[in-house]
Chains A and B, each alone.
Chain A
Amino acid sequence: MARGIKDKVAILGMGCSEFGERWESGAEELMVEAFEEAIADAGVDASQIDAAWFSTHYEEINVGKGGLPLSVTLRLPNIAVTRVENFCASGSEAFRGAVYAVASGACDIALALGVEKLKDTGYGGLPGSASPLQAQWAATGSAPGNFAQLASAYRAKHGVSRDDLKRAMAHISVKSHANGAKNDKAHLRKPITEEQALNAPMIAEPLGLFDCCGVSDGAAACIVTTPEIARSLGKSNVVTVKALQLSLSNGSESGHNSWDGSYFHTTRIAARKAYEEAGIRKPREEVSMFECHDCFSVTELVTMEDLQLSPEGGAIKDVLDGFYDADGQIPCQIDGGLKCFGHPIGASGIRMLYEMYLQLQGRAGPRQLDNPTIGMTHNLGGAPMSNVAAVCIIGAL
């Protein structure tokens, strides 16, 4: 049995750019914005960073390939910079690289930085991309259409009417908009009503406009070190990594008739392993708050069950009961989530950690929760039938 990552790595500093339609900024400016906040928060100098991991998804419309864009943009001191890409979970992947480097003892201080510049395409939504073989047979698809399919299977499995599902999905989005309104770095900062959510234009049945997250520009950064070095640098209130797990599909969901289409097979595995690594036995009671990969409202809904926070088939009731609202038992997307903070793909996993970190340190301003001790992030890349699920748990040392 591997010993795991628990309490071996501390977060020294974090930063996050404003997310949104950053017409005035390119990826480079966004990277600098996030990095400056992180390095100031960490209280170290860039010359003290031993290695960096850099996440971005779309290379062709973004900064290009390799680690050079980060190294050159930040004028890093000729250290190793590794570019990682794991779909929308790329940010968590960059964080994992930095954390493992410190945990192994190879590095004292490591940087993870993720960025995505999406608003240079000329339209909303995400560009398509496919391999030479995929392009010749893979179904026509967009992200909303892929995730919308969860709704059809979830309804069939649990006998849920379209109206009931739509109402729960609307509540999820109303909640995230209410949270995002208190976040001055968020892309979407206006509260919405349930009626607005229910009556929005259809994007992909049954997902309306307000069931879909924003397409945003942004960057987020995290500097990690050991708890000992953090303390030696004068840090109190140290936040450490309790668990960090990834699970990837292997084609079973998309190719073998053993998955019913209503849940995330990988999220269930990553969550089980993460709870084990962190020593959490009763997630519904022990997790203080979490950021889930709410690319679409229905994703958030089914993920609550996959993370063992709601019982199977019970997410709709929990959502409508306000269990995940800001004043509920386990606040979810307290920063607005992908839905409202925004979703610059390569940055999102680190952005989720940013909010959990601020909350654990009592620095979340008008969004601050009462004494949270365990924060969890769930970062998902791909589509329900084939994906990368990352679950990370952080907390006070």
Chain B
Amino acid sequence: MLQIKARYDLPGRSMEAVDCRSSDASLMLAPHSYRLSGISMAGISAFGGYVPRLRLARQAIAAAHAWSDPAIKGRGKGERSFCNWDEDAVTMGVEAARDCLGEGQEGQPAALPEAIYFASTSFPFAERQNAGILATALGLEGDRLSMDVTGSQRAGTTALMQALAAVSGGMVADALVVAADKRRAKASSAGEFAYGDGAAAVRVSADDGLLAFRGGHTVTVDFIDHFRAEGQTFEYTWEERWIRDEGLAKIVPPAIARALEKAGVEASDVAHFCMPSTIGRAVAGIAKAAGIADGAVRDNLHAVLGECGCAHALVMLLHALEGEVKPGEIVVVAAFGQGCDVLVFEATAACSEARAAGGLGIRGALAAGRSTENYQQYLAFNDLIVLDKGMRAERDDYKTALTVTYRKRDMLLGLVGGRCTRCGTLQFPRTDVCVNPQCRAHHSQEPYAFRDEPAQVLTWSADYLTYIPNPPSHYGMIAFDNGGRFMTDFTDVDVGELEVGTRVRMMFRIKSVDSLRGFVRYFWKAVPVRAAAAANAVATG
């Protein structure tokens, strides 16, 4: 039990107290947790989203399993996102964070967030802080707070709640909240149909920003709609009707009422209600019970995306923010999982032009999708079938020298190379001797991040011989516009798509997986810049 009572004086505002309890056995009778009501010294100032490029037509799943369950055909509507073989919660989180922070952050330490909250229920590492990987990848190592938030489908909203508390409480000036999930589901399960993979990131600042935080409430209840034990790959789920009637319907509406009360907002004033649920009409029932207009219930994006785990409440929030939330409107974000988080925001004048700093956002990412009916590929990428990978997959150099990983972490995780202070030549990797044949200065290079540098293809091939989970293996030399080059893997690329001169951007991806020791190596790969993504499509939903 944690209790904090303090008085904070921040420029222009003062705050009575923060009363923070992590749990309370009598919550349902005396709902009470974050007393953040009436405080408006924290808000969401920026946001970014990421959805993997691949979209699986649910029809393909249904068709594959109809032989065993004819009723499954009814689920074969719309499409769900899924990760390429080299994506996971960390890589998606990094991309969402980049989309949120915008590019070219290097050398602007004052503008960097002081805290990183990373939420997921599908972190690749149970130990080795995943937020730390994300921090290094983004050039955010050092004097800042970082934490992983996990264990429940409301981890994303809990991370956001914590960030708002830390910022409004004055512990940090601003914070980055990232939520990403790639939930595992058994083949043909309800989850396989319902889930999608994706990520969202928001920046919390000590001002109203785009969305001013008006109040929030959390209840904690050990309601087990599903669970996944330590060491288990897949979750175990209880009956939907019970979850809907005994869980969602009884736990969420009172929490909403309490949050609105703290925020001083009437339920009828809520213009956007962002709450995920894979159970049809459950959220509409909650809204009705809470007094929120049916029209305020946001589309859960089931048709085009699927539910992105604990990131999904934020994904829905971003989707609303990207063009539909108007100044002055009340936005409620809620997530369910061993209780419930409810956050109440008020849109500021700035939100009318809200757009992800990196330019893509959830809508842009949705528009950049590539639909497929290749269910076998989905199964292979998600390790749901036992494939013969051939002898070439049996490499002995997968054991990772952690000494090297640490020594070179800015290079490997942050794509940081060098800039020669003598001749100005950009180069990757950074070495002790300048690569420029006309320079060759020793010890002249300063760190220089290449992750946001524009580049184009110089040479390429599509290799059918070498082992890769998604053949053919595309790789080749890329040349950065401002100098520097290296041989890189290409990913998210279609056969026949690459040409000399194709524009590419760098993305943080899985390099390889040491399945013997369970270690994931990350590095950066080049992805073709496509018109659909570049245009930052705004008309999709």
Contact = CB atoms under 8 A, between A and B. Distances in A.
Q: Do A and B bind each other?
A: yes
Contact of B475 (A125, A145, A203, A255): A145
A247 to B, nearest CB: 14
Given A136-B408, A136-B412, A156-B500, A254 B486 contact: yes
B496 to A, nearest CB: 9
B475 A140 contact: yes
A152 B476 contact: yes
Contact of B435 (A148, A155, A252): A252
Nearest to A154: B459
B463 interface: yes
B427 interface: yes
B485 to A, nearest CB: 6
Given A139-B487, A155-B500, A133 B404 contact: yes
A65 to B, nearest CB: 17
Contacts of B431: 251
Interface in B426-482: 427-429, 431, 435-437, 457-466, 468, 472-473, 475-477, 479-480
Given A123-B391, A153-B459, A255-B427, A140 B437 contact: no
B458 A153 contact: yes
A149 B460 contact: yes
Contacts of B425: 256
A1 interface: no
B406 to A, nearest CB: 11
Interface stretch (A108-116, A232-240, A257-265, A351-359): A257-265
Interface string A129-166: 11011011111111011101111110110000000000
Contacts of A123: 390-392
Contact of A136 (B464, B466, B521): B521
Interface stretch (B94-102, B169-177, B197-205, B393-401): B393-401
A152 B475 contact: no
A250 B512 CA distance: 28
A154 B459 CA distance: 9
A385 interface: yes
Contacts of B400: 132, 135-136
A204 to B, nearest CB: 4
B298 interface: no
Interface in A188-226: 201-205, 207
A389 to B, nearest CB: 17
A257 B411 contact: no
A392 to B, nearest CB: 26
Which of A128, A205, A256 has most chain B Cβ within 10 Å? A256
Contacts of B390: 123
Given A136-B400, A145-B465, A205-B461, A255 B476 contact: no
A366 interface: no
Contacts of B473: 140-142, 145
A201 B466 CA distance: 14
A365 interface: no
A128 B395 contact: yes
A124 to B, nearest CB: 8
Nearest to B426: A257
Interface string B382-418: 0000000011100101101101110010011000000
Interface of B: 390-392, 395, 397-398, 400-401, 403-405, 408, 411-412, 425, 427-429, 431, 435-437, 457-466, 468, 472-473, 475-477, 479-480, 483-489, 499-501, 511-512, 521, 523
Query: Lowest 5 A-B CB distances belong to which pairs?
Result: A145-B463, A149-B459, A148-B461, A132-B401, A156-B500
